[in-house]
Amino acid sequence: MKSTIKHMLCCFLALSFVAACGKKDDSSGSKNPVYTLDVNQYTGSQAGEAAHNQLVAWLNAADTTPVGAHAAFTRKTGSLYFSFTKSICGPGVLNFLCEKPTHCFIRNNNGVMQGTPIMGGTQGMRYDGCNITQINPYVKSQDQNLREAILGRSGKFVMKNLTKQSGNIFTVFVADQEGALTPTAAYQINTSLPAILNPVIKQENGQETRLVYLILQ
């Protein structure tokens, strides 16, 4: 398969999503301890509701980002700020140290069609294509995970005034209670990427989920 590979590793994302000191509050003795995040450790050239409003406008706009016709990607979860330096498994030469993609999509005349990665090789570490599993195309306005990362959800209230922006990178903070002063979760959205790849980082409940991807032409 002739391909042009563009990969995004967590070390690149970390430049804009600086490793803050996650704090675990065990004083309540609860089985579900509260994790707080130090907002001052997150960088951004613009902040506040203006940045959040710009992000909401992107969310409500059509997904027209021209980033390839075929992408494979994986989302990996671990403890806050876990080490993640592997690249994603691609086509061609086998790489037994790579991360297997967990998702893929193909952009065709019908839109962005989601699928399941086809893995080959004796160890299943070679990406051989994307098996389309969705009848209907991906629609940004129906992406519940993306909407909740930007708009919040039940029990997660967006702290609009804390939103950070650095170029196309937006960091949104949420709290467990409306009006709270300390965020307990953070989500990073990269608007230069297709909506289907976002959020690129999620931090909540003491866990972090990151994205690594490659584009195949």
The answer to whether residue 190 sits within a structural domain is yes
Total structural domains in the chain? 1
What mean pLDDT do residues 152-164 have? 90
The answer to whether residue 183 sits within a structural domain is yes
pLDDT higher than threshold 60 for residue 38: no
For residue range 124-155, what is the model confidence (pLDDT) as tens digits?
A: 889 999 999 888 899 898 999 999 999 998 88
Tokens of 70: 């075929």
Taking the model in full, what pTM does it have?
0.76
User: What backbone phi and psi angles, to 5 degrees, belong to 34?
Assistant: -90, 135
For 42-46, 47-51, 203-207, which range has the lowest pLDDT when averaged over its residues? 42-46
The answer to whether residue 38 sits within a structural domain is yes
Please, are residues 10 and 73 in contact by the beta-carbon 8 Å criterion? no
- Percent of the chain at pLDDT exceeding 70: 72
Output the 3-class SS for 52-101: HHHHHHHHHCCCCCCCCCEEEEEEEEEECCCCCCCCECCCCCCCCCCECC
Please, are residues 88 and 99 in contact by the beta-carbon 8 Å criterion? yes
What is the pLDDT at residue 93? 66
Please, are residues 82 and 208 in contact by the beta-carbon 8 Å criterion? yes
For residue range 64-105, what is the model confidence (pLDDT) as tens digits?
A: 665 567 899 998 888 776 666 678 888 886 667 788 899 999
Segments forming the whole domain that contains residue 36: 10-215
Half-sphere exposure of 12 (CA within 13 A, CB side): 12
The answer to whether residue 5 sits within a structural domain is no
What is the pLDDT at residue 64? 67
Q: What is the mean pLDDT of the chain?
A: 77
What is the pLDDT at residue 199? 94
The answer to whether residue 92 sits within a structural domain is yes
The answer to whether residue 151 sits within a structural domain is yes
The answer to whether residue 173 sits within a structural domain is yes
Other beta carbons within 10 angstroms of residue 116's beta carbon come to 15
Angle, vertex CA 12, rays to CA 10 and CA 2, nearest 5: 85
The answer to whether residue 176 sits within a structural domain is yes
